Amino acid sequence: MNSKPPRPLPFDAPRLGPRGLAIFIAVMILTPFAIVVGAYALFPDVVPQPLPVRVDIEGYIEPARVAASVERYRAGEGEVLEPYISVVNTADFPLNSVYVTLNEKFVFHTSEPIGPGEARDFYLSRFQEHDGSRFWPNRYDLREVTVRGRLPSLEQAIFRTEWKELIDPPAADGAAGDAADGANREEEAAQADRGSEAATDSASPSATPDGSSSPATEPATVESSGVDRTSDGENR
């Protein structure tokens, strides 16, 4: 006697209920908004004003000296020199999420904020590119330093300086002093012009009631001459 296998029961696919459908629609709507907010938090606007920092190179060492220290270390003499640069916060508020870039390629990020007036040292051997290539202080020259940081307003600012400005800061100060001296000279010249205009106005003719003008000293002269005429008439 042949027996047929039992027929499978129909399978019901899972379905979303009203509550699940509402949650799904809410997630679909809020996801793009969350992405935009996250992108703004990660990449805020950049203000045109420079970041209030100063870069010091007192700890910088030329590649030739670093290479010589490497050779001495390989020979068992001395240690390898570690050059660094210092970023000084010149503002009265902390700077967060600071990125320092060397030669527009090698980046180092510090997660700790730099406090007001604080100087943070950055060793050049710790900088690297996005692909992992490191900055070798014994091979590469330092040409440019860029500092990017976040302000208390959550906006970003950038400070960029070149090697010429790093090694010769007094030249920049002298230029600023020359500009200030030039402004002072212009102000003194303007004051002198105003003084000369005031003197010219005081010496200019004064108007009479009939619309004519006469010098300021003329009325006294006319008065004295009139007295003379009167006395002459009486004498006559």
pLDDT for the residue numbered 40: 64
Characterise 117 by phi-psi region: left (phi > 0), alpha (psi -120 to 50), beta (else): left
Report the predicted TM-score, pTM, of the whole model to 2 decimal places: 0.55
> Tokens in use for 195?
């003084």
Mean pLDDT score of the chain, rounded to an integer? 76
Tens digit of pLDDT for each residue in 179-216?
555 555 666 666 666 665 555 555 444 444 444 444 44
Nearest to 166 by CA among 222, 98, 102: 102
pLDDT for the residue numbered 127: 95
* Mean predicted confidence (pLDDT) in 19-46: 78
d(CA 127, CA 106): 5
Query: Is residue 228 within a helix (H) or strand (E), and if so which, with residue range?
Result: helix 218-235
d(CA 5, CA 65): 88
| Structural contact between residues 161 and 144, judged by C-beta atoms closer than 8 angstroms | yes
Tens digit of pLDDT for each residue in 107-137?
999 989 999 999 999 999 999 998 889 999 9
In this structure, the number of other CB atoms found within 10 A of the CB of residue 127 comes to 22
pLDDT for the residue numbered 206: 47
pLDDT bin (cut points 50, 70, 90) of residue 88 is very high
d(CA 67, CA 65): 5
**Residues comprising the chain, all counted:** 236
Tens digit of pLDDT for each residue in 37-51?
776 666 667 788 899
CA atoms in the 13 A half-sphere facing the CB of 24? 7
CA 94 to centroid of chain Cα atoms: 15
Nearest to 137 by CA among 122, 123, 125: 125
pLDDT for the residue numbered 78: 87
* pLDDT tops 50 at residue 149: yes
Helix, coil or strand: residue 215: coil
Residue 146 makes CB contacts below 8 A (sequence gap 6+) with 100, 101, 104, 158, 159, 160
Helix, coil or strand: residue 24: helix
Percentage, residues of the chain above pLDDT 70: 62
Domains of the chain with CATH codes:
53-170 (2.60.40)
> Tokens in use for 110?
């510090």
